[in-house]
Amino acid sequence: IPSFKGKLKSRPLDAIVDEAQALVRAGARELVIVAQDTTDYGRDFGDPNSLPRLLSAICNRTGPDLRWLRLMYA
């Protein structure tokens, strides 16, 4: 897919966390993070540890109402 869609581009961490918070406030109890290659999240920012930071931020900022956080295509 990158050959015709271009290089992978990560969304900013704060944008993802803000969206997660809004979804949980609206009643979501499970979030699924889907990407073409989830484990490459943030490498385009030059930070190979962005995925652990993202997951921690989501869990910390959504609180106990978020029961499940799943990753697809890792």
pLDDT band at 68 (very low <50, low <70, confident <90, very high): very high
pTM as predicted: 0.87
pLDDT band at 4 (very low <50, low <70, confident <90, very high): low
Nearest to 2 by CA among 44, 45, 47: 44
Region 34-38: mean pLDDT is 88
In this prediction, residue 37 carries a pLDDT of: 86
| Three-state SS annotation for the chain | CHHHHCCCCCCCHHHHHHHHHHHHHCCCCEEEEECCCHHHCCHHHCCCCHHHHHHHHHHHHHHHHCCEEEEECC
**Domain 12-72, CATH number (from 3.20.20.140, 2.30.40.10, 3.40.50.300, 3.30.750.210):** 3.30.750.210
Mean pLDDT taken over the chain: 91
For the chain, domain boundaries: 12-72
